[in-house]
């Protein structure tokens, strides 16, 4: 199996004589199945031509600020989002100092600042610069922020000195980069996921729905893809772009979602029910737009089928994960649903008062029969990666 199949590596090249070695690194990453996009600092382009990287990666190379906005749909935020990991190789002493400061004076530092994903640096510099207290402090701060430091190696340097500070060899970096994907934990698994709200028609124009934005479900789909899963996303109506490597099926009502899930589920190993499925639908939806008549109108509702409970009751059920959004007594309600619906895991959070449905940050607790794990408030993307890690571990333990 190609170790980087399906993975997107954004390679940042900063100004160092080691920049020429990154050409070989691009070749090795592509050979392992990665999609590679290269971003160079202005100084890097004085050491090596962008065309070299373009030819090896098969993609345009970005360097100047406006390069990322030249009509290929890859503005700087899109580029940062596109990447599963950002690797800066070589990372010069100057680049590390700017990264530590959170500067955004050029495209590459901006991308790092705009990313909440994995970032790794492969330092390359003279041994005295490496040993300087300023560099050491910069590295310590970056490490503490969760940035991975690859190397440096030791040996002869371009300046004629011998010591620590050489960029790791491309072969070594190409071995290290796959390990940045903490998760290969869902490699080879097929995962079905629902996300977003449902719309329950009242008449030709009107429907009942809820505040779900779909963000948590979509972040989970993305995290599962990064963890190696083959993802099918059944989505209610949301205003979000599809994760590009997922198969997406659009539905409106809970009934349609039920049918879509039931026709897909047999092929899947894991099912995550992140959709905010309406519990009830209007009993007699009208095909015509209903006219205003009386002062008061009664709307009869009938219960929808419970999708996640139906999946969990299948004879060959997949590993099944549900959600519980609660305004009070989170643990009691979550454990109740875990048991009542026959789930393997449930992700529960408190909603209301600026938490839950429409916001970007969230906290969550995952419960299973004999344990639980709390995940601190963070972006939905980071939360999704932590949740996928827990789902993956439990799925592996049971299969
Ligand atoms: N769910 C589902 N089908 C439904 C309703 C809910 O699959 N018809 C799933 C949701 O996707 C979620 C979990 O069930 O994973 C919890 O949904 P929730 O509405 O909180 O559960 P209910 O059993 O309806 O409990 P409550 O009384 O709190 O509404």
Q: What is the pLDDT of residues 99-157, one digit of tens each?
A: 999 999 999 999 999 998 899 999 999 999 999 999 999 999 999 998 999 999 888 88
**Ligand 1 nearest-atom number relative to CA 303:** 8
CA of 7 to the centre of ligand 1 (A): 34
Would the pLDDT of 21 be above 60?
yes
Cα–Cα distance for residue pair 305/309, rounded to 1 Å: 9
Cα–Cα distance for residue pair 44/41, rounded to 1 Å: 5
Average pLDDT over residues 312-336: 96
Average pLDDT, the chain: 92
Q: Which of 250, 228, 253 is nearest to 241 (CA)?
A: 250
Cα–Cα distance for residue pair 190/186, rounded to 1 Å: 8
Q: What is the DSSP letter of 211?
A: -
Tell me, what's the pLDDT at 142? 96
The pick from 234, 259, 307 for probing ligand 1's pocket by mutation, whose C-beta has the most ligand atoms within 8 angstroms, reads: 307
Would the pLDDT of 366 be above 90?
yes
Q: What is the pLDDT of residues 251-282, one digit of tens each?
A: 999 999 999 999 999 999 999 999 999 999 99
Q: What is the DSSP letter of 207?
A: E
Tell me, what's the pLDDT at 261? 98
Q: What global pTM score does this model have?
A: 0.71
- SS3 of residue 178 by DSSP: helix
Cα–Cα distance for residue pair 3/206, rounded to 1 Å: 49
Q: In the numeric block, which tokens belong to residue 306?
A: 């419970």
Nearest residue (by CA) to ligand 1, atom 4, is 306
**Ligand 1 nearest-atom number relative to CA 309:** 7
Per-residue confidence at 355, pLDDT binned at 50, 70, 90?
low
Average pLDDT over residues 22-47: 96
Domains in the chain: ranges and CATH? 8-181 (3.40.50.1950), 190-398 (3.40.50.10300)
Average pLDDT over residues 53-59: 96
Q: Which of 61, 67, 83 is nearest to 8 (CA)?
A: 83
Q: Which residues pair with 350 in a beta bridge?
A: 326
Cα–Cα distance for residue pair 40/36, rounded to 1 Å: 13
**Ligand 1 nearest-atom number relative to CA 325:** 20
Tell me, what's the pLDDT at 71? 63
Cα–Cα distance for residue pair 255/245, rounded to 1 Å: 26
8 A C-beta contact, residue 271 and residue 193: yes
Q: In the numeric block, which tokens belong to residue 120?
A: 């790794």
Q: In the numeric block, which tokens belong to residue 323?
A: 């959600």
CA of 377 to the centre of ligand 1 (A): 23
CA of 190 to the centre of ligand 1 (A): 23
Lowest-confidence segment of 40-44, 52-56, 197-201, 376-380 by average pLDDT: 376-380
Average pLDDT over residues 239-248: 86
**Phi, psi torsion values for 275, nearest 5 degrees:** -70, 145
CA of 306 to the centre of ligand 1 (A): 7
Q: Which of 182, 174, 185 is nearest to 87 (CA)?
A: 174
CA of 324 to the centre of ligand 1 (A): 7
Cα–Cα distance for residue pair 270/312, rounded to 1 Å: 11
Per-residue confidence at 294, pLDDT binned at 50, 70, 90?
confident
Tell me, what's the pLDDT at 81? 86
The pick from 273, 281, 319 for probing ligand 1's pocket by mutation, whose C-beta has the most ligand atoms within 8 angstroms, reads: 273
Q: In the numeric block, which tokens belong to residue 214?
A: 């779909």
**Ligand 1 nearest-atom number relative to CA 305:** 8
Tell me, what's the pLDDT at 4? 86
Average pLDDT over residues 353-373: 83
Cα–Cα distance for residue pair 389/383, rounded to 1 Å: 10
Tell me, what's the pLDDT at 227? 87
* Higher pLDDT among residues 84 and 67, named by residue: 84
**Residues above pLDDT 70, as percent of the chain:** 95
Would the pLDDT of 8 be above 80?
yes
Give residue ranges with CB within 6 A of ligand 1.
254, 273, 275, 277, 279, 304, 306-308, 322-325, 337
Nearest residue (by CA) to ligand 1, atom 8, is 306
Would the pLDDT of 70 be above 90?
no
The pick from 235, 305, 324 for probing ligand 1's pocket by mutation, whose C-beta has the most ligand atoms within 8 angstroms, reads: 324
Supply the angle between the helices 380-398 and 215-226 in degrees, to the nearest 10: 60
The Cα angle at residue 389 between residues 383 and 395, in degrees rounded to 5: 130
What are the catalytic residues? Answer: 159
| Residues sharing a CB contact under 8 Å with residue 276, sequence separation 6 or more, in sequence order | 196, 197, 198, 210, 211, 212, 236, 325, 357
Would the pLDDT of 72 be above 70?
no
CA of 218 to the centre of ligand 1 (A): 18
Tell me, what's the pLDDT at 68? 67
């Amino acid at each position: 199996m190609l170790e980087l199949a399906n993975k997107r590596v954004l390679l940042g090249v900063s100004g160092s004589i080691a920049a020429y070695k990154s050409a070989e690194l691009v070749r090795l990453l592509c050979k392992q199945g990665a999609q590679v996009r290269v971003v160079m600092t202005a100084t890097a382009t004085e050491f090596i031509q962008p065309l070299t990287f373009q030819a090896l990666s098969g993609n345009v190379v970005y360097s100047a600020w406006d390069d990322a906005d030249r009509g290929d749909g890859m503005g700087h935020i899109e580029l940062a989002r596109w990447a599963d990991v950002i690797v800066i190789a070589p990372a010069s002493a100057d680049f590390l100092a700017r990264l530590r400061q959170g500067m955004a004076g050029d495209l590459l530092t901006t991308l790092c600042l705009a990313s909440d994903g994995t970032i790794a640096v492969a330092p390359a510099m003279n041994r005295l610069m490496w040993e300087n207290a300023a560099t050491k402090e910069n590295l310590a701060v970056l490490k503490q922020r969760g940035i991975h430091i690859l190397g440096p190696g030791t040996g002869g340097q371009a300046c004629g000195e011998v010591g620590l500070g050489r960029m790791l060899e491309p072969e070594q970096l190409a071995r290290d980069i796959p390990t940045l994907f903490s998760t290969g934990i869902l490699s080879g698994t097929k995962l079905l996921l629902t996300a977003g709200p449902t719309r329950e028609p009242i008449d030709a124009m009107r429907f009942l729905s809820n505040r779900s934005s779909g963000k948590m479900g979509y972040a989970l789909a993305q995290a599962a893809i990064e963890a190696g899963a083959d993802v099918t996303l059944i989505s209610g109506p949301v205003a979000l772009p599809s994760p590009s490597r997922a198969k997406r099926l659009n539905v409106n009502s809970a009934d349609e979602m039920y049918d879509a899930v039931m026709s897909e589920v047999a092929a899947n190993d894991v099912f995550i029910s992140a959709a905010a499925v309406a519990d009830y639908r209007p009993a007699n939806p009208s095909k015509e737009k209903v006219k205003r008549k009386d002062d008061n109108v009664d709307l009869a509702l009938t219960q929808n089928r419970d999708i996640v409970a139906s999946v969990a009751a299948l004879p060959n059920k997949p590993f099944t994960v549900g959600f519980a959004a609660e305004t009070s007594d989170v643990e009691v309600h979550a454990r109740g649903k875990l048991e009542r619906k026959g789930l393997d895991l449930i992700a529960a959070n408190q909603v209301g008062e600026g938490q839950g449905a429409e916001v970007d940050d969230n906290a969550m607790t995952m419960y299973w029969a004999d344990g639980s794990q709390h995940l601190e408030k963070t972006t939905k993307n980071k939360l999704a990666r932590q949740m996928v890690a827990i789902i993956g571990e439990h799925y592996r333990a049971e299969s």
